[in-house]
Amino acid sequence: MAIKQMKPTTPARRGMTSQDMSTITTKKPVRSLTSTHKITSGRNNQGRITTRHKGGGVRRMYRHVNFDLAKGTSATIEHIEYDPNRSARIIRIKDTKGDYHYNLAPANAQIGQKIHSGDDAPVETGNRLALKNIPTGASIYAIELEPGKGAKLVRSAGASAQLIAKEGTYAQVRMPSGEVRLIHVECMAHIGVVGNDQHQNIKYGKAGRMRRKGIRPTVRGVVMNAVDHPHGGGDGGRHRMARAPVTPWGQKTLGYKTRTRKTTSKFIVKSRHAAKRK
């Protein structure tokens, strides 16, 4: 996918870029695979804001992507579609029973391409196999964390992990962050790289595009009053933070480790933080 440059008709559009939709083959989704998507504006069931800077945005239908394609499935790609709910493209596939499914589109997906799932599926781009049947060194995406629970890892545009080793009942997978993690060999994964790899290079150009995505403005703490943020207050105009970076509620942030899930930490062979320091 290429990046489309806007004509500089306004100051905002001078540096604005957008996605190239030339690979999209249809604009109308499958009605049975969509549902209404209620925008909660970052609020929980009590109406309290639990995630800040969310609200508004355009209305959009949710596409139900099948992250747990059944073993033995053989399907054909009929269309490549745009999904407003994720950065990656999705493919509309039709299996031998005549049922339609949505799946993440791999890089260089083509209309008419066959997608297979199961232990006897060939090692080809887009096919879904167990980690034990995937050769070491292969690029994979849409990886399960637990067998039969559906893909949880590596699902965004341009992302891919690498299967680097297999030993016993676990395989070592290098994640896009550089983290090396143990995953059970019975877990399923797709072979290849998620498509739409140029998504990260898009320049939105103006605040209005972010508002249409449902992202509200973020105000820095140092420009707030002391009553609103620990970084706020003070005389003399602009100033630096007078303390270590904290959240509006006083919790340390910007590098402060908060992970306490010891049940999953034992599966991390190499930390993503250690990978970035090298």
Q: Note the pLDDT tens digit of each residue in 213-271.
A: 999 999 999 999 999 999 999 887 888 888 899 999 999 998 888 777 788 888 999 98
Q: What's the pLDDT at 163?
A: 97
The pLDDT of residue 274: 74
Evaluate if residue 141 carries a pLDDT over 70.
yes
Residues of the chain with CATH 2.40.50.140: 3-200
Supply angle C-alpha 54, 157, 105, rounded to 5. 120
CA–CA gap between residue 97 and residue 126 (Å, rounded): 20
Q: Is the dihedral of CA 134, 136, 140, 144 positive or negative?
A: positive
Q: Which CATH class is domain 3-200?
A: mainly beta
> How many CA atoms does the CB half-sphere of 62 hold within 13 Å?
8
What is the third-level CATH fold of 225-272+274-278? Ribosomal protein L2; domain 3 (4.10.950)
CB 126, CB 192: distance < 8 Å: yes
CATH 4.10.950.10 residue ranges in the chain?
225-272+274-278
Cα 39 to Cα 119: distance, rounded to the nearest angstrom: 39
pLDDT at 275 exceeding the cut of 80: no
100 contact partners, CB below 8 Å, separation of at least 6: 30, 32, 33, 78, 92, 93, 94
Tell me the per-residue pLDDT of 20-45, one tens digit each, with 9 for 90 and over.
888 899 999 999 999 998 888 999 99
Percent of the chain with pLDDT over 90: 83
CB 185 within 8 A of CB 151: no
Mean pLDDT rounded to a whole number for the chain: 92
What are the C-alpha distances in Å from 231 to residues 7, 53, 221, 246? 41, 18, 5, 8
Answer yes or no: is pLDDT of 276 > 70: no
Predicted TM-score (pTM) of the model is 0.89
Min mean pLDDT across 2-11, 49-58, 132-141, 238-247 is at 238-247
Q: Which pair of structure tokens corresponds to residue 188?
A: 């399923």
Q: Which residue has the tokens 């993503």?
A: 272
Question: What is the CB neighbour count within 10 angstroms for residue 196?
Answer: 24
Q: What is the pLDDT of residues 100-128, one digit of tens each?
A: 999 999 999 999 999 999 999 999 999 99
Q: What pLDDT is recorded for position 277? A: 57
